[in-house]
C-alpha cells in the first residue's frame, strides 16, 4: 500500500468524523431550538390563562418537529411522513386562524391541499410496507423494541 493511499484514507476518515460531528451538533442545536421555542410558547399560554385552538396546534407542530429530529437522530433517516404531518397541521392551523367565512375559494384550496397530503401519507405507508428493503425493516424493528 502506497503512502498516498494511506494519506487519502486518513484524510477521508477525518472528513467522516467532522461530518458526523457537525451532524450531531446540528441535531442538538435544532432540537434545543425546538424545545426552547415550545417552552416559550407554553409560558405565553400560561400567562394568558387559557389555550386557544391555534395555541394547541402550534404545540403539536413543535411536538412533530421534535419527534422528527429524534427519529433522524436514531436512524440517520429523515422521516418524510412527519414532514407531511407537519404540513397538515400547519394548513389546519391556517384554516382555523386565518381563513374568514367569506373566503370559500381559499377554504377549498387549503382543504384540497390537506387531502393531497393525507393521500401522500397513505401512498408512502403503502409503498414502504410493500417495497421496503430489509435494512429499513430491521431499523424500524429496533426502534419499536427500544
Query: With contact defined as beta carbons under 8 Å apart, do 85 and 64 qualify?
Result: yes
Q: How confident is the model at residue 59 (pLDDT cuts 50, 70, 90)?
A: very high
* 128: number of Cβ within 10 Å: 15
Mean pLDDT of the chain: 84
Give yes or no for residue 25 having a pLDDT over 60.
Answer: yes
Give yes or no for residue 135 having a pLDDT over 60.
Answer: no
Q: Give how far the C-alpha of residue 58 lies from the chain's centroid of Cα atoms, to the nearest Å.
A: 14
For residue 133, the model assigns a pLDDT of 62
For residue 134, the model assigns a pLDDT of 53
For residue 146, the model assigns a pLDDT of 40
pTM beyond 0.75: no
pLDDT in tens, 64-110: 899 889 888 888 888 788 889 989 988 988 888 877 666 778 888 99
* 11: number of Cβ within 10 Å: 10
Give yes or no for residue 36 having a pLDDT over 90.
Answer: yes
* 7: number of Cβ within 10 Å: 10
- H/E element, 37: helix 3-48
Burial level of 118, CB count in 10 A (0-12/13-18/19+)?
middle
For residue 1, the model assigns a pLDDT of 59
Q: How confident is the model at residue 143 (pLDDT cuts 50, 70, 90)?
A: very low
Amino acid at each position: 500500500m502506497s503512502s498516498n493511499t494511506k494519506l487519502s484514507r486518513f484524510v477521508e476518515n477525518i472528513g467522516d468524523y467532522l461530518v458526523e460531528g457537525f451532524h450531531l451538533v446540528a441535531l442538538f442545536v435544532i432540537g434545543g431550538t425546538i424545545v426552547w421555542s415550545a417552552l416559550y410558547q407554553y409560558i405565553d399560554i400560561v400567562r394568558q390563562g387559557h389555550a386557544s385552538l391555534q395555541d394547541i396546534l402550534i404545540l403539536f407542530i413543535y411536538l412533530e418537529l421534535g419527534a422528527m429530529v429524534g427519529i433522524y437522530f436514531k436512524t440517520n433517516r429523515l422521516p418524510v411522513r412527519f414532514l407531511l404531518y407537519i404540513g397538515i397541521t400547519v394548513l389546519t392551523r391556517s384554516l382555523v386562524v386565518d381563513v374568514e367565512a367569506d373566503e370559500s375559494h381559499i377554504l377549498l384550496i387549503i382543504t384540497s391541499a390537506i387531502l393531497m397530503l393525507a393521500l401522500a401519507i397513505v401512498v408512502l405507508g403503502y409503498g414502504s410496507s410493500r417495497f421496503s428493503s430489509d435494512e429499513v425493516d430491521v431499523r424500524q424493528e429496533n426502534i419499536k423494541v427500544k
